[in-house]
């Protein structure tokens, strides 16, 4: 069984191990670079349960947006685990967008012929925010 692959410019982003507020900060940063299915009018919210919460979004790296260029997004209050999946060029562009605003470290990778999945740790930079 083969799973359908994402369009070459699309990246799926999954945020976990963070608060809803920090998830929105990361999503807001990415919205300043790429078109997304995540509306700023529908921010992540806490579920009120003790179960782990994950937030997802799709970003089109071929559909760059000019809004927010040069802005410094608010840093997360704690490190955020960001899992990204897509074609290598699209994942690279999305990672570069995160690196413009935050300190980003790679903590895992799973690469195939057509897609790559990275696990990143995103934190605020020292001296900013």
The answer to whether position 2 is within a domain reads no
The answer to whether position 44 is within a domain reads yes
The answer to whether position 97 is within a domain reads yes
According to the model, what pLDDT value does residue 73 have? 81
The answer to whether position 129 is within a domain reads no
The string of pLDDT tens digits covering residues 7-37 is 789 999 999 989 999 999 999 999 999 999 8
How many domains is the chain partitioned into structurally? 1
Domain range for 32: 10-123
The answer to whether position 14 is within a domain reads yes
The answer to whether position 103 is within a domain reads yes
Instruction: Tell me the three state secondary structure of residue 3.
Output: coil
* Rounded CA separation 60/84 (Å): 12
Instruction: Tell me the three state secondary structure of residue 82.
Output: strand
This prediction's pTM:
0.84
Furthest CA-CA distance within the chain: 49
Q: Which of 108, 66, 61, 103 has the alpha carbon at shortest distance from 83?
A: 108
The answer to whether position 15 is within a domain reads yes
In this structure, are residues 104 and 121 in contact, taking their beta carbons and an 8 Å threshold? yes
The answer to whether position 18 is within a domain reads yes
């Amino acid at each position: 069984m083969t799973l359908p692959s994402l369009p070459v410019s699309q990246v799926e982003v999954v945020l976990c191990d963070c608060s809803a507020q920090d998830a929105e900060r990361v999503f807001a940063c990415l919205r300043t670079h790429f078109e997304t299915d995540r509306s700023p009018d529908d921010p992540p919210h806490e579920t009120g349960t003790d179960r782990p919460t994950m937030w997802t979004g799709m970003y089109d790296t071929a559909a760059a947006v000019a809004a927010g260029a040069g802005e410094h997004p608010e840093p997360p209050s704690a490190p955020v685990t960001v899992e990204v999946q897509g074609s290598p060029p699209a994942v690279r562009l999305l990672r570069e967008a995160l690196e413009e605003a935050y300190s980003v470290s790679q903590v895992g990778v799973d690469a195939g012929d057509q897609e790559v999945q990275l696990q990143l740790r995103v934190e605020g930079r020292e001296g900013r925010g």
